[in-house]
Amino acid sequence: MKLPAGLVLVFLLCGALTARAQSGGLLIRVGAMQPTANLSDSNLTKGSFRVNIGYGKVFAGGHAGLDVTGFADVMKYNFYFDHFDKRFKGTTLYSGIAITPNYCINPGGEIRVSIALSIKTGYNWGYGNVYGYSERHDNYSDKLESKSLSASYSFAYSPMVTFAIPGNFGSVGLELGYDSTNYGTGINRLRSNYYAPLKYNSGYLFAGVFFRLHH
* pLDDT of 168 over the 80 cut: yes
Quote the CA–CA distance of 215 and 15 in Å, as a whole number. 18
The beta-carbon contacts of 20-23 under 8 Å, at least 24 apart in sequence, are 21/55, 21/57, 22/215, 23/57, 23/58, 23/59, 23/214, 23/215
Its pTM stands at 0.83
pLDDT for the residue numbered 47: 84
DSSP H or E run through 12: helix 5-20
Residues of the chain above pLDDT 70, percent: 86
Band the pLDDT of 167: cuts 50, 70, 90.
confident
* pLDDT of 180 over the 50 cut: yes
Phi-psi region of 17 (alpha: psi -120 to 50; beta: other; left: phi over 0): alpha
Across 141-162, average pLDDT: 94
Helix (H, G, I), strand (E, B) or coil at 173: strand
* pLDDT of 38 over the 80 cut: no
pLDDT for the residue numbered 2: 39
- Beta pairing, strands 112-134 & 139-166: antiparallel
pLDDT for the residue numbered 44: 59
DSSP H or E run through 211: strand 204-213
* pLDDT of 160 over the 90 cut: yes
The beta-carbon contacts of 164-171 under 8 Å, at least 24 apart in sequence, are 164/111, 164/112, 164/114, 164/210, 164/212, 165/110, 165/111, 165/112, 166/110, 166/112, 169/213, 169/214, 170/25, 170/211, 170/212, 170/213, 170/214, 171/112, 171/211, 171/212, 171/214
Band the pLDDT of 118: cuts 50, 70, 90.
very high
Across 167-173, average pLDDT: 89
Q: Which residues contact 211 (CB under 8 A, 6 or more apart)?
A: 26, 27, 28, 170, 171, 172
- Amino acid letter at 86? K
pLDDT for the residue numbered 136: 75
* pLDDT of 204 over the 60 cut: yes
Quote the CA–CA distance of 136 and 133 in Å, as a whole number. 9
Band the pLDDT of 215: cuts 50, 70, 90.
low
Q: Give the model confidence (pLDDT) of 48-104 as tens digits.
A: 999 999 999 988 778 899 999 999 999 998 888 888 889 899 999 999 999 999 999
pLDDT for the residue numbered 11: 45
* pLDDT of 21 over the 70 cut: no
Residues of the chain above pLDDT 90, percent: 61
